[in-house]
């Protein structure tokens, strides 16, 4: 698997472009802005983007959804519990901004498998930051895209509408910390980490 990370949008969100090495089929995870930069990276990678995958519905992870879908013909996917938030602009109005009012093509549920070429992304429902927050886990590659659930030495905020601190902690402990310790965590903001590092050092989890 090839992975490229771009930091995009008004609050410095990690957008990930992944591609299957054998087929060049690809996906864009959390296009939170700067559509031109994302599309330029897709072109450099030579990726045939089949999916735009949102880890959750907040505007800073979804602003460029429509532009990427329009340019690539990709299927837009989000967990069913966050689809209403996406349709209302992802909460951009909370911050005096205008969000993208996207309509998803595919509603995700816990345990679903999204196939991108020979890659298999398992959907892990990790609510708490938002009701429909998910992580995308690729077991064979040993990586998980955690959205705003788990960061390097941090966790997602839970003070926005739909947030729930206890639910987020439970999600992290049962869905993410149970992954193999050498799993690389690609978060929604900030640098990558590993499950092992967060198990022993993340101060929010103990």
The total number of structural domains that make up the chain: 1
| Confidence (pLDDT) at 114 | 98
Q: Choose the weakest-confidence range: 14-18, 83-87, 174-178.
A: 83-87
**Cα dihedral 28→6→148→138 (10° resolution):** 50
Radius of gyration in angstroms for the set of CA atoms belonging to the chain, rounded to a whole number: 15
Q: 114-126: per-residue pLDDT in tens? A: 999 999 999 999 9
Token pair of 135 as six digits: 């992580």
Q: If pLDDT is split at 50, 70 and 90, which confidence band does 91 have?
A: confident
Task: Give the mean pLDDT of 13-29.
Answer: 98
Cut 0.85: pTM above it:
yes
Backbone torsions φ then ψ of 162, nearest 5 degrees? 90, -5
Q: If pLDDT is split at 50, 70 and 90, which confidence band does 94 have?
A: confident
Q: In Å, how far from its chain's centre is CA 181?
A: 20
Token pair of 57 as six digits: 């519905």
Q: Strand pairing partners for 134?
A: 125
Q: If pLDDT is split at 50, 70 and 90, which confidence band does 206 have?
A: confident
Task: Give the mean pLDDT of 45-62.
Answer: 97
| Confidence (pLDDT) at 88 | 83
Q: 147-200: per-residue pLDDT in tens? A: 999 999 999 999 999 999 999 999 999 999 999 999 999 999 999 999 999 999
Q: If pLDDT is split at 50, 70 and 90, which confidence band does 47 have?
A: very high
23 torsion bin: left (phi>0), alpha (psi -120 to 50), beta (else): alpha
The contacts of residue 187 (CB under 8 Å, 6+ apart) are 14, 146, 147, 148, 150, 151, 152, 193
CATH of the domain at 101: 3.60.15.10
Higher pLDDT, 95 or 51: 51
Task: Give the mean pLDDT of 45-65.
Answer: 97
Using the predicted structure, report yes or no on whether residue 92 has a pLDDT greater than 70: no
- Compute the distance between CA of residue 191 and CA of residue 118 in angstroms, rounded to an integer: 26
Give the domain range for residue 6: 2-205
């Amino acid at each position: 698997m090839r992975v490229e990370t771009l930091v995009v949008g008004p609050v410095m969100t990690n957008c990930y472009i992944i591609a299957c090495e054998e087929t060049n089929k690809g996906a864009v995870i959390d296009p939170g802005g700067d559509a031109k930069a994302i599309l330029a990276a897709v072109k450099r990678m030579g990726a045939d983007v089949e999916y735009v995958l949102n880890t959750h519905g907040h505007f800073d992870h979804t602003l460029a959804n429509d532009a990427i879908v329009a340019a690539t013909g990709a299927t837009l996917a989000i967990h069913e519990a966050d689809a209403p938030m996406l349709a209302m602009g992802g909460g951009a109005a909370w911050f005096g901004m205008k969000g993208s009012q996207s309509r998803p093509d595919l509603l995700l549920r816990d345990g679903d498998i999204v196939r991108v070429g020979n890659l298999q992304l398992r959907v892990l429902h990790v609510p708490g930051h938002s009701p429909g927050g998910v992580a995308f886990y690729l077991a064979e590659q040993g990586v998980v895209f955690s959205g705003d659930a788990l960061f390097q030495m941090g966790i997602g905020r839970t003070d926005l509408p739909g947030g729930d601190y206890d639910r987020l902690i439970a999600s992290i402990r049962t869905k993410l910390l149970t992954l193999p310790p050498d799993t690389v965590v690609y978060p929604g903001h900030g640098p990558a980490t590993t499950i092992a590092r967060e198990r022993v050092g993340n101060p929010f989890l103990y």
